[in-house]
Amino acid sequence: MKAVNLIPGDVRPGAGGAAGKSGGAAYAVLGALALIVAMFALYTKTNASLDDKTAKVATLEQQASAAETQATSLASYTKFAALRTKRVATVKQLAGGRFDWAHALHELARVLPPNVWLTDLTGTTSPEARVEGGASSASGVRSALPVPAIEITGCTTSQSSVAKMMARMRLIDGVQRVTLIDAQKSNSAGGGPADAAAGGSGSGCNASPQFPTFHLVVFFEQQASAVAAAPGQTGPTPAAATTPGTTPGTTPGTTTGAAPTSTTPTATTATGASPSTPATTGVTK
Amino acid sequence: MTARDRIVLLVVAAAAVLAGFWFLVLTPKRDDGKELDAKVAAAETRLQAAQASASAAQDAKQRYDRDYATVARLGKAVPVDDDVPSLVYQLESVSKHNKVDFRSIKLDSSSTPTAAAGAAGATAGSASTAGAALPPGATVGAAGFPTMPFSFAFDGSFFRLEDFVRDLDRLTSVRGDDSIDVKGRLLTIDGIALQAGPKGFPQVSASMSATAYLLPADEGLADGATATAPGAATATATPNTSAAQSFRSDR
């Protein structure tokens, strides 16, 4: 048997389907209200965020202005501090970039073989540097490397001693190259130019015409800190020898010789006359 | 119009309202928000820079006395003027201390500035001083740093001379702790020539070429500052990041 609902359709419970009696208008109104509330909330939140940011900008700018005003009022102190920093950096760069001549001379005395006599010694921090009464760089050997170097003139007892002398020079702290310019025996018994420079003391090469006179150049390494301390510098920089701390020095002629090590004799050109730098004023004894 | 049509119409209308709200109301606000974010970032950066400047300025003010003393002491190593009398006195003093005979001092006006002078000028950065009120004989380095080339002559023992050169360097020297010890004039020895004396080595006659340094003429010793207050500032404040330095004067 099939059940039949005899209640009229418009009065049955749940009449009108899901839309109900209003045909869905109530849902539409509720949806619209929800939408309006959501949009209002979003709008309000966005506005609040903007207000916060605006206030933050104003606060930050106010604080920045105050700080800038304070900095400006003390700018003279800042400027003086910058001046002091610059002065310190300049003096440190100059003082720290100097070549350590005292250490170089100390090392030279330490390694000089006993049978070698020096008659002339000229050290320069760069090929352009000139010393009054110093040796000439006419041979061009000195100008080969833009580093500190010592040009040495002297004499010894034999050519093999010249080789030993060069090997000993390699033992000097911070030496990168030892270059022989010439080593020659004098034709006359009176000795060569070195004897004249020695003042005819009798202890020079005039002791025997078989004693050769030598000229050599000892090149030192460029100090890394001196290069780094001069950014943008294109020219040569005076370098300093490495840290002292070697064996105590001895008088020239008391150091025993050592086995020759590798040296690099490259030129055999005779040296020229010593130039002198013009002087305008001075105090002389 | 069926119920389905009404629902579709409502949904479309709601979507249209939502889109209109999003694009016409909310999007401009969001754009304003982005602009404000950029302004906040810029303002924060400006504030940080200003605070750093203010802090540096405050630090500079607090240590002004020490800075002034340092600058004044550095003026002993690198004076404003040539200050040759002081240089001669210091050379004589050091040579006497090392038993070296100080024979002569000459000003080499024809010498060119050395590489060291050029390097210093790079740091000094005072190109504006070129030729401005320099003492006679002073030359301007590659970057405008005033230098004075001198030649010295000495007689003495090789080893005494070695000590003499060491003491000359120690007049102004950088110590192990990276501080500067200022006892006298800063000199860079550019060259040394030793010739055997009348009795031969180790008695020698020594010639030296050396460079003395001067402060830029447009700065003076303290750039207008006094012991109590700095001079008028024209530059904008900048953060000072320099490390603390210590100085000692023994002479």
pLDDT value of residue A224 = 55
Question: Quick check: A231 and B122 in contact, CB under 8 A?
Answer: yes
Question: Quick check: B128 and A89 in contact, CB under 8 A?
Answer: no
Distance CA B90, CA A166 (A): 37
The percent of chain A in helix, strand and coil, each rounded to the nearest 5, is 40, 15, 45
Q: What chain B residue is nearest to A59 in terms of C-alpha separation? A: B43
pLDDT > 90: what percent of chain A? 36
Name the A residues in 172-231 with CB < 8 Å from any B CB: 197-199, 201, 203-204, 226, 229-231
pLDDT value of residue A132 = 79
Distance CA A132, CA B151 (A): 7
pLDDT in tens, A113-147: 998 988 889 999 988 888 877 666 556 888 888 99
User: Which tokens sit at B142?
Assistant: 């590659």
Name the A residues in 56-115 with CB < 8 Å from any B CB: 56-57, 60-61, 63-65, 67-68, 70-103, 105-106, 109
Distance CA B119, CA B112 (A): 14
Using the Cα atoms of residue B96, residue B100, residue B105 and residue B110 in order, give the sign of their dihedral.
negative
User: Which tokens sit at B149?
Assistant: 């080339």
Question: Quick check: A131 and A159 in contact, CB under 8 A?
Answer: no
- In the numeric block, the tokens 């690198």 are attached to B78
Question: Quick check: B76 and B251 in contact, CB under 8 A?
Answer: no
pLDDT in tens, A17-32: 655 666 667 877 888 8
Using the Cα atoms of residue B38, residue B41, residue B47 and residue B50 in order, give the sign of their dihedral.
negative
Angle between helices B27-62 and A75-96 (to 10 degrees): 70
- In the numeric block, the tokens 């539409």 are attached to A28
Contact B18 A39 (CB under 8 A): yes
Which of A79, A91, A283 is the closest to B88 by Cβ?
Answer: A283
Query: What would the mean pLDDT of A38-67 be, rounded to a whole number?
Result: 94
Residue A182 has pLDDT above 60, yes or no: yes
pLDDT value of residue B42 = 95
pLDDT in tens, B59-71: 999 999 999 999 9
Which of B40, B165, B174 is the closest to A92 by Cβ?
Answer: B174
Dihedral class, residue A269 (left if φ above 0, else alpha if ψ from -120 to 50, else beta): beta
Distance CA B122, CA B116 (A): 10
Question: Quick check: A125 and B115 in contact, CB under 8 A?
Answer: yes
Distances in whole angstroms, Cα of residue B128 to Cα of each of B77, B81, B109, B125, B219: 22, 17, 21, 8, 10
Q: How many A-B residue pairs are in contact by the CB < 8 A criterion?
A: 386
Contact B106 A279 (CB under 8 A): yes
Q: In what order do the strands lie in the sheet with B180-182?
A: B172-174, B180-182, B247-248
pTM (predicted TM-score) = 0.68
Contact A84 B223 (CB under 8 A): no
Min CA distance, B23 vs chain A (Å)?
A: 12
Query: What would the mean pLDDT of A189-203 be, rounded to a whole number?
Result: 44
Angle at B118 between CA B93 and CA A219, to 5 degrees: 75
Question: Quick check: B156 and B164 in contact, CB under 8 A?
Answer: yes
Angle at B192 between CA B191 and CA B196, to 5 degrees: 155
List phi, psi (to 5°) of A139: -70, -20
Interface confidence, given as ipTM, is: 0.75
Give the list of residues 6+ apart from residue A269 with CB closer than 8 angstroms, or none: A138, A139, A140, A141, A181, A182
Contact B209 A131 (CB under 8 A): yes
Which chain A residues touch B190 with a CB distance below 8 Å?
124-126, 129, 131, 238
Measured between alpha carbons, how far apart are the two ends of chain B, in Å? 110
How many C-beta atoms surround the C-beta of residue A1 within 10 A? 3
Task: List, in sequence order, every beta strand (DSSP E) within chain B.
Answer: 101-107, 139-140, 146-157, 172-174, 180-182, 187-196, 203-213, 247-248
B154: three-class secondary structure by DSSP: strand
Q: A50 at the B interface (CB within 8 A)?
A: yes
Contact A84 B71 (CB under 8 A): yes
pLDDT value of residue A152 = 93
Query: Whose CA is closest to A140, among A131, A157, A127?
Result: A127
- Mean predicted lDDT score pLDDT of chain A: 73
Give the list of residues 6+ apart from residue A187 with CB closer than 8 angstroms, or none: A209
pLDDT value of residue B7 = 79
Low-confidence ranges of chain B (pLDDT < 70): 109-132, 141-145, 232-251
Query: Whose CA is closest to A241, among A178, A176, A174?
Result: A174
Angle at B239 between CA B237 and CA B240, to 5 degrees: 115
Query: Whose CA is closest to B188, among B208, B206, B174, B160?
Result: B208
pLDDT value of residue A188 = 61
How many C-beta atoms surround the C-beta of residue A186 within 10 A? 20
Question: Quick check: A211 and A142 in contact, CB under 8 A?
Answer: no
Q: What chain B residue is nearest to A18 in terms of C-alpha separation? A: B3
HSE toward the beta carbon, residue A17, CA cutoff 13 A: 7
Which of B7, B196, B234 is the closest to A24 by Cβ?
Answer: B7
List phi, psi (to 5°) of A124: -135, 150
3-state secondary structure B80-121: CCCCHHHHHHHHHHHHHHCCCEEEEEEECCCCCCCHHHHHHH
Contact B106 A284 (CB under 8 A): yes
Largest CA distance in chain B: 132
Which chain B residues touch A238 with a CB distance below 8 Å?
114-116, 188, 190
Q: Which residue has the higher pLDDT, A60 or B119?
A: A60
- In the numeric block, the tokens 């040009």 are attached to A151
Min CA distance, B6 vs chain A (Å)?
A: 9
Min CA distance, B99 vs chain A (Å)?
A: 16
Which of A84, A130, A237 is the closest to B191 by Cβ?
Answer: A130
Which chain B residues touch A233 with a CB distance below 8 Å?
115, 118-119, 122
Give the DSSP letter of residue A194.
H
pLDDT value of residue A251 = 33
